[in-house]
């Protein structure tokens, strides 16, 4: 029995349901079109220091910034987007990759401003890799999955890169209160791999930007290695 025939048989016995609304999608997809279209999109790039979406705001973290820019598609408090991300991250539903592609394409079609990296003729796409233990438990890295979807949809000239390695952190960032604890938890968690060519521009990808501690630490290591511009991209913003 071919894999395609097996998948069709399983879908007929256990039809896919939308991970957000639990509606039978009848298309073999695990995220329905209605939920996709109802996700609230962020209209302007947030502050790459603190994540604020207010263009005029008193940024408390401006003095400790390593990112060149930050782009996020939506808000983590949106129940549809949160269900999509959590299903990838905690339920290991890798079949949601086509839905992530569709989400990024929808965002690209509605985006008002040019991409921050639009002027880069060459750019490396680097995930904010998770700890080795969590990658082994999931069988994949959701930050890398986001990077792959982004390259397929809007950055086809981007080069998949493995510039960073990561040691174990003491705790999952989501288990810690925002602030100094999260920053300390990822301090020196990333290292530049040996014998890699350092590009001028890197596009860092992850699922959620909360306090920014993890992404800023990864960007710091890249900057110290010689990367001149580090652009951030996440699916969602906020806790």
Domain that holds residue 164: 41-75+116-237
Q: Cα separation of 12 and 62, whole Å?
A: 53
What is the reported pLDDT for 158? 97
Q: What is the DSSP string of 135-182?
A: HHHHSS-HHHHHHHHHHHHT-TTPEE---EEEPPPSS-GGGS-TTHHH
Answer yes or no: is pLDDT of 3 > 50: no
Question: Predicted confidence band at 165 (pLDDT cuts at 50, 70, 90)?
Answer: very high
- Judge whether 88 lies within some domain: no
Answer yes or no: is pLDDT of 49 > 80: yes
- Judge whether 224 lies within some domain: yes
Q: What is the pLDDT of residues 193-229, one digit of tens each?
A: 999 999 999 999 999 999 899 999 999 999 999 999 9
- Judge whether 94 lies within some domain: no
- Judge whether 100 lies within some domain: no
What is the reported pLDDT for 121? 96
Number of domains in the chain: 1
- Judge whether 170 lies within some domain: yes
What is the reported pLDDT for 170? 54
Closest alpha carbon to 201 in 167, 163, 153, 234: 163
- Judge whether 215 lies within some domain: yes
Beta pairing class for 164-166 and 190-192? antiparallel
Q: Which two tokens stand for residue 2?
A: 């071919």
- Judge whether 104 lies within some domain: no
Mean pLDDT on 88-113? 93
Burial 125-144 (b: 16+ CB within 10 A, else e): bbbbbbbeebbeebeebbbb
Q: Lowest-pLDDT range, 64-68, 78-82, 100-104?
A: 64-68
- Judge whether 91 lies within some domain: no
Q: How many other C-beta atoms can be found within 10 angstroms of the C-beta atom of residue 17? A: 16
Torsional sign, CA 85, 53, 147, 103: positive
Q: Are 87 and 139 in contact (CB under 8 A)?
A: no
Q: What angle do CA 97, 98, 101 make, to 5 degrees?
A: 90
Q: How many other C-beta atoms can be found within 10 angstroms of the C-beta atom of residue 146? A: 26
């Amino acid at each position: 029995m071919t894999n395609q025939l097996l998948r069709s048989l399983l879908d007929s016995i256990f039809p896919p349901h939308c991970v957000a609304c639990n509606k039978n999608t009848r298309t073999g997809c695990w995220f329905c079109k209605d939920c996709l279209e109802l996700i609230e999109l962020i209209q302007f790039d947030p502050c790459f220091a603190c994540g604020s979406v207010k263009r005029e705001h008193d940024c408390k973290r401006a003095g400790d910034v390593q990112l060149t820019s930050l782009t996020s598609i939506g808000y983590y408090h949106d129940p549809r987007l949160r269900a999509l991300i959590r299903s990838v991250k905690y339920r290991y539903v890798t079949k949601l990759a086509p839905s992530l592609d569709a989400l990024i394409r929808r965002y690209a079609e509605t985006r008002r401003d040019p991409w921050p990296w639009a002027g880069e003729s060459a750019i490396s796409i680097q995930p904010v890799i998770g700890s080795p233990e969590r990658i082994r438990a999931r069988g994949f890295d959701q930050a890398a999955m986001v990077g792959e979807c982004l390259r397929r949809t809007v950055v086809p000239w981007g080069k998949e890169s493995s510039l960073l390695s990561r040691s174990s952190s003491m705790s999952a960032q989501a288990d810690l209160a925002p602030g100094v604890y999260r920053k300390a938890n990822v301090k020196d968690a990333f290292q530049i791999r040996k014998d890699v060519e350092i590009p001028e521009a890197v596009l860092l990808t992850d699922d959620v930007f909360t306090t920014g501690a993890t992404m800023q630490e990864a960007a710091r290591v890249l900057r110290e290695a010689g990367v001149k511009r580090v652009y951030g991209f996440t699916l969602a913003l906020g806790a």
